[in-house]
Structure 1
Amino acid sequence: MIPHSTTHHSLLGLRSTLRRLAHQLRLPVELRARLALAVSQVAAGELGAGRSVSLHVSREADPDSGRTALTVRLRTPLAPRPPSLKDLPLPAHRMPGAAAVWHLPQSAEPPPRAPVPTTGAPGVADLLEEELRAAVARADRLAEDHKRLKHELAETNSGVLALYVQLEERDEQLRRAHGQMLRELEDALRPPPVRVDGLEMAVHYEPAGTDAPTGGDLYDWFLLPDGRVHITLVDALGHGVTSTRSALNVTHAVRTLALEGHPLDSIVERTDEILLPFDRELMATVLLARINPSGGGLTLANGSHPPALVVREDGSTEFLDVRGRGIGYPLPGSERLLYEELAPGDLLVLYTDGLTESRRDPREGERRLQEAAGRHRHLPIEKIPGAIAADMHTVILHPDDTVALTVRRTREDSA
């Protein structure tokens, strides 16, 4: 049977011959179907135009692998041009003397000779039905595989979704734990109000972001040996733990200098001299206040910090502005000391720029601060800083860490 050569004038005859031959050569059903479709696709144009084609089947060495292969050649001797070999169900090669060539791998043992056809041999319809059954079975297998893969994908997606949920919950837990740890650190860094007759004090701190509750805005207050209350307010450049460290260095240096008895007007400059050799990047604004609880005497020194605000008992307000330059600035220090007196019922408001510069115009922020402080001046002292901050932060265009610190001189009958 091998080699085999036939000439064909019809597509039906070519397909029938090829199917019978492939069946006798015991080609797999799917390979047989693909070969019949591919050969028919190449020959269809010629046979449709009334020109003949020839089919040649032999066993030769595959030029790519060198192994014995079943070689099927289709020749179109009368074709004006070679037929296209694109998108064939079974890829073909073009070789000299043939329109298309298919090399079908064969086992080392040659296939047994097919029995002589008898009346019981399958016809073309039987072969087509066999190919159809194979195609249906393959489609069923693919559908089952698709169903299984879809189920596995759904389970995988469900597992991935559950993992994402767990990771999100874990991430949220870590953020909360991180924030709680930092808040505890902040609380440890922020001393409670000084308790002294004649004054009541409170503070409100608000970070720029809840995910990073530390910042460069710190305060310190303590009692001096002479009975006066010292207050330090610091705003170090930047955000996060680095700026907190810078601000903490400033408050510790100021406290040390104040307790050593250094004059108030020299402390900003001396703090710069002490810290800058260790931290060349440090920049911070500083406001220093000293209050005599018994007489209400107030002394202020300033290093580039927003001015203090005093709200009188009758509701009138005044900014206590002292010029100076902060730590890390050229020529640091307070240019002078400002002396003022707090009468019973007067309220002193110290703050960082996050309170007044939440809008585009700082002057608008200062005006709104005067209004808010005057409106809330009679509240219990522990509520005043938060109430002022809430009014000031109704609209925030560029959030920043905020400290609002209030001191109110008590009336003699409540002292």
Structure 2
Amino acid sequence: MTPHTFHDLSALRRAVRRICAAHRLPSRTGGRLVLSVAQAAGAVLRAGGPVRLEAAEQSAPGGTALLAVTLRAGEAPAPLSTADLPLPGRATPDGVAWHLPLGEPQDPSASAPRTGVPSQGGPCETATAEVYEAEIAALEGDLGAALSRVDTLTTELHRLKDELAETNSGVLALYVQLEERDEQLRRAHGQILRELEDALRPSPITVSGLEFAVHYEPADTDAPTGGDFYDWLHLPDGTVHITIVDALGHGVRSTRSALNVTHAVRTLALEGHPLESIVARTHDILVPFDPEIMATVLLARIHPETGALRLANGSHPPALLLRADGTSDYLETRGRGIGFPLPGSESVLEDTLHEGDLLVLYTDGLTESRRDPIEGEARLVKSARAHAQRPVDEIPGAVAEDMHTVILHSDDTLALAVRRAPRDAPGAKAEAGG
């Protein structure tokens, strides 16, 4: 294809604009091409030399259509300039070339390949007034400045995006570190509270003929304080006294309430007050100092030699007695707890622990994890039977594990087991199981 030769910069610009229009280049790309061709050819034309312009569609690998625009200087007295072009091109031995991707044609007539440089126009175009050329030059100067501004803004946008990505990455890393630190503090806090609460719980006791074990499980392992407490002690008359307390609420306040109840009950028991009066008297002692206190209480007295068992209750779940022969009974006795209207145990239930019998005392977190106390009591009987022959220190934890396979209502849980040892068993030891 014969390239078109130009001696005039304005004619060269018009020819490039026609190429852009004929091939439907985007205005931004077309403007850059016009400025780049004029800038590359400027030195040659001002020195009096000609330039040649050629345009043709080509196919790139993959079927992509390209517009190839080539500017050549021939034997011009000055070389073509390729530095800092608004639309960078590829330097050739005698000029510079641009390869621009083309979009889909907008009408059927535009689908045929277009080659060559459109006509330079008639005499009227070559006689363009200097004012027109001056306006064109001014517009091209404005376009160049605008494109330069666009390039600057684009570069700044990329920089800001990179900085934002780095900032987001740093914030995310800091957030992860804070989460890890918070988790460490929660665990440390929970460990301290667990150690303090363990220190407040009574030490194991040793009573010939009886075996003891207990298991406590907080609703939240990171905040192990709660209102489920127990106490056991050997009274001067030789009987064993056991207190189970479930104070309303969770956390430190409920722990304080439970401790107050167990301390008051212990004092009254050591002073020799009748079992049937202790719940009501504990209420009378504590409510004036803490009007909002509410706690359920179960009291048990066991004679180690005879197995005589006495129970008093203040709104607490009943004790489970599992006989050595596999039969079972819930030992129900009515009463109302500390902070309740008309507090006190209405009566004292009496029964007997025979050799090999297992007594299970607990709080409602054991049987109400599925929100159905009746269903929970049935499962407790089944679990106690399954584990009754194990060492006593394993029984409370094994029962709690069975009962908590599904938890719909999370609550603090306490399970305490007492077994009357058979005569041929070695001396029974009081053990606190986990």
Say whether the fold is shared (TM-score over 0.5).
yes
Task: Measure the CA separation in 1 of the matches of 2:132 and 2:384.
Answer: 107
- Asked whether 1:188 is paired with 2:199, we answer yes
Corresponding residue for 2:14? none
Deviation at 1:372, TM superposition (A): 0.9
Match of 1:165 among 172, 176, 187: 176
Q: 1:136 aligns with which of 147, 151, 157?
A: 147
Counterpart for residue 385 of structure 1: 396
Over residues 198-254 of structure 1, what are the superposed CA-to-partner deviations in whole Å (9 max), with x where a residue is unaligned?
A: 111111111122232211111111111222211100011111111111111100100
Partner AA of 1:263 in structure 2: P
Whether 1:403 aligns to 2:404 is no
2:186 paired with 1:175: yes
In 2, distance between residues paired with 1:249 and 1:152? 59
List gaps (5 residues or longer) in structure 2: 1-129, 428-434
Partner letter of residue 239 of structure 2? R
Give secondary structure in 2 for the equivalent of 1:197.
coil
Q: Write the distance in 2 (CA, Å) between the matches of 1:357 and 1:147.
A: 60
Task: Give the counterpart of 2:307 among 271, 279, 296.
Answer: 296
For residue 411 of structure 1, report the CA deviation from its aligned partner.
Answer: 1.3
Deviations 1:158-214 (A, max 9, x none): 110111011101110111111112211221222233122211111111112223221
Task: Say whether 1:315 aligns with 2:315.
Answer: no
Partner Cα separation in structure 1 for residue 145 and residue 348 of structure 2: 100
> Structure 1: which 5+ runs fail to align?
1-118
List per-residue Cα deviations over 1:288-347 (Å, max 9, x = no partner): 011122221211111111111111111111111111111111111111111211111110
Count of aligned residue pairs for this structure pair? 298
**1:249 paired to 2:260:** yes
CA offset digits 1:83-122 (Å, max 9, x no partner): xxxxxxxxxxxxxxxxxxxxxxxxxxxxxxxxxxxx8997
Q: 2:382 aligns with which of 360, 371, 374?
A: 371
Q: What is the SS of the residue equivalent to 1:318? A: strand
Give, in whole Å, the separation in 1 of the partners of 2:350 and 2:358.
16
1:3 aligns to what? none
Structure 1 outlier segments of 4+, above 3 Å: 119-122
Alignment of 1:101-120 (within 5 A): none
Task: Work out whether 1:336 is the aligned partner of 2:363.
Answer: no
1:286 maps to which of 284, 293, 297 = 297
Give per-residue Cα distances to partners, 1:253-292, cap 9 Å, x unaligned: 0011111111111111110000000111111110001112
**What residue in structure 1 maps to residue 160 of structure 2?**
149
Q: Secondary structure at the match of 2:316?
A: coil
2-structure distance, mates of 1:184, 1:122 = 92
Q: Confirm or deny: 8 A CA contact 2:191 2:222 kept in the other structure.
A: no
SS of match in other structure, 2:204: coil
Q: Which residue of 2 aligns with 1:360?
A: 371
| TM norm structure 1 | 0.69
